[in-house]
Amino acid sequence: MVRSAVRISDPEYPRAIVHFDGDAFFASVEQMMDWRLRGRPVVTGGERGAATSLSYEAKARGVHRGMLMSEIRRRVPDVVVVRSDYTAYSIFAKRMYAIVRETAHVVEEYSIDECFADITGLDAELGKSYEEIALYIKEQLQTSLGITFGVGLAPSKVLAKAASKYNKPDSFTALPLSRIPDFLAQTSIGSIWGMGGSATLRMMKLGVDTAGQFIDKPYGWLVDEKFAKPYKDIWHELRGVSVRPVGEESVGRSGIGSIMRTRTFTPPSTDRSYVFAQLAQNIEGVCAKARRHGVTARGVSFFLKTQDFQYQSRSIDLPVALNTPSDLIRTLSPHFYELFIPGIQYRATGVTLHTLISAAAVTPDLFGESVRVGSRAKVFGAVDAINRRYGRNTLHTGASLLSYAATPARRGLHEGRLRFLLPIEQRQKALNVPYLGEVL
């Protein structure tokens, strides 16, 4: 008598991991939201003057990422340029994750247009092959979002990601253990997830041009050549051994670890006051973002980037958690003056807030420092409300003012707007703007 056998999972997949990658995601979302854009060359990134995402119609006509809009319009006169709408993209992304979760139990939201699913064991559970399950989810995504996906199925994340990229768009590639060697023999080492410019260069100097040549090396070779852990992980993953689990949304920690704001300015400048104003503007931006997320920072770091792409940076511990620009500007300014080298051309500044804690969890210290900061926080809460209502930077601190006023292209942008000023004496005279004084 034959008992109904317990179904066994496919041994070709010790783990079954699927990677879903939206095709030309931003441009595709734009085409879904406005039917008039379908079938037409669409480019997003209008607000920054360079292409961020391109529809396949645009790619077919020689447009590539980062290309300037002026150049694109010249080449493709009927191109449709749209401003990025990250709110819409996020909504599509959330829907994408939800659809995958309807079938898969373990899903990692990797980025706005990609996710991983671990479907190990689901074949036995559903009585379907892994290929059928992955294809089913792909169909669900495509019919309900109206966007095509590149989908890869493999025993590890690194392999699944390589597979989903293969034959894009609207592709499905399955890599059971037995197909791995042939596939990797045709895959360049530099195209592997986690192999960046410098690692690729090193590999090639060592005679490794394909991922196939890489996995043919014995493990001892990696040790002898002193490759770091990430590259050892990749080696395992490429051989079909999963060492990077598909992570359910970072269970332990809630949300983000750090927040940053950086801006490049053109032309580059040697003017200390101007560069400081740029930094101050980034501080305001990063603080606004922190308040939006409801967090405050115990640590802050900033950098100055020179014209030849050298970074100078400082990291500072904050005795009291902060998310208000006036306090942060005061804290950072001595460090800025220490770091700044006269005569050097600077092209960008940036600020990162780290060691973030929930803004509600701030405990006042014995000397009332946190209390004072707290009342200042209320002022910036009001500033945020005004800026939400009347547009970004309607209200800003005096320290960042120069970053607006000194840029010829931006002159006039702030005419007639309210100004919120903190005292930096020389600046007020030089610019002849209304001085409202420090609010607190």
Q: For residue 3, what are the CA distances in angstroms to 6, 7, 119, 125? A: 9, 11, 26, 17
Q: Which range binds DNA by CB under 7 A, 6-14, 127-135, 138-146, 226-234?
A: 226-234
Smallest separation, CB 28 to DNA (Å): 14
Number of H helices, E strands in the chain: 17, 12
Nearer to DNA, 357 or 431 (CB): 357
Smallest separation, CB 432 to DNA (Å): 28
Q: For residue 90, what are the CA distances in angstroms to 81, 202, 234, 288, 412? A: 20, 37, 29, 20, 33
Q: How many CB atoms lie within 10 A of CB 78?
A: 9
Site string for DNA, 273-302 (x = CB under 7 A): ------------x---x---------x-x-
Smallest separation, CB 332 to DNA (Å): 13
Residue from 67, 69, 112, 431 that binds DNA (CB under 7 A)? 112
Residue from 62, 95, 124, 230 that binds DNA (CB under 7 A)? 230
Nearer to DNA, 157 or 427 (CB): 157
Residues 75-104 that bind DNA (CB under 7 A): none
Smallest separation, CB 417 to DNA (Å): 22
Smallest separation, CB 262 to DNA (Å): 4
Crossing angle (nearest 10°) for helices 369-390 and 325-339: 100
Residue from 78, 102, 317, 415 that binds DNA (CB under 7 A)? 317
Residue from 70, 90, 254, 313 that binds DNA (CB under 7 A)? 313
Site string for DNA, 37-76 (x = CB under 7 A): -----------x-x-x------------------------
The Cα 215–Cα 185 span in angstroms is: 10
Residues 6+ apart with CB under 8 A from 356: 256, 257, 258, 259, 290, 293, 295, 296, 297, 298
Nearer to DNA, 101 or 314 (CB): 314
Q: Is 114 a catalytic residue?
A: yes
Residue from 111, 167, 254, 345 that binds DNA (CB under 7 A)? 111
Size of the residue set binding DNA (CB under 7 A): 45
Smallest separation, CB 197 to DNA (Å): 5
Q: Does 195 bind DNA (CB under 7 A)?
A: yes
Given the DSSP bridges, would you call strands 42-44 and 80-82 parallel, antiparallel or unpaired? parallel
Are 182 and 208 contacting, i.e. CB atoms less than 8 angstroms apart? no
The radius of gyration of the chain from alpha carbons, rounded to an integer in Å, stands at 26
Q: Which range binds DNA by CB under 7 A, 80-88, 312-320, 357-365, 401-409?
A: 312-320
Q: Does 350 bind DNA (CB under 7 A)?
A: yes
Residue from 239, 261, 291, 396 that binds DNA (CB under 7 A)? 261
Q: Which one of 57, 114, 237, 284 is the catalytic residue?
A: 114
- DSSP codes joined into one string, 125-183: HHTS-HHHHHHHHHHHHHHHH---EEEEEESSHHHHHHHHHTT-SSEEEE--GGGHHHH
Half-sphere exposure (CA, 13 Å, Cβ side) for 212? 9
Smallest separation, CB 407 to DNA (Å): 13
Q: Does 256 bind DNA (CB under 7 A)?
A: yes
Are 302 and 338 contacting, i.e. CB atoms less than 8 angstroms apart? no
Residue from 262, 306, 387, 394 that binds DNA (CB under 7 A)? 262
Residues 6+ apart with CB under 8 A from 263: 278, 281, 282, 285, 348, 349, 350
Residues 385-404 that bind DNA (CB under 7 A): none
Q: Does 229 bind DNA (CB under 7 A)?
A: yes
The Cα 44–Cα 173 span in angstroms is: 28
The amino acid at 292: R
Query: What residues form DSSP beta bridges with 28?
Result: none
Smallest separation, CB 339 to DNA (Å): 10
Q: For residue 171, what are the CA distances in angstroms to 18, 19, 150, 186, 394? A: 13, 12, 5, 17, 47
* Residues at the site binding DNA, with contacts judged by CB under 7 A: 48, 50, 52, 110-114, 161, 192-200, 226, 228-230, 250, 256-264, 285, 289, 299, 301, 308-309, 311, 313-315, 317, 348, 350
- Catalytic site positions: 114
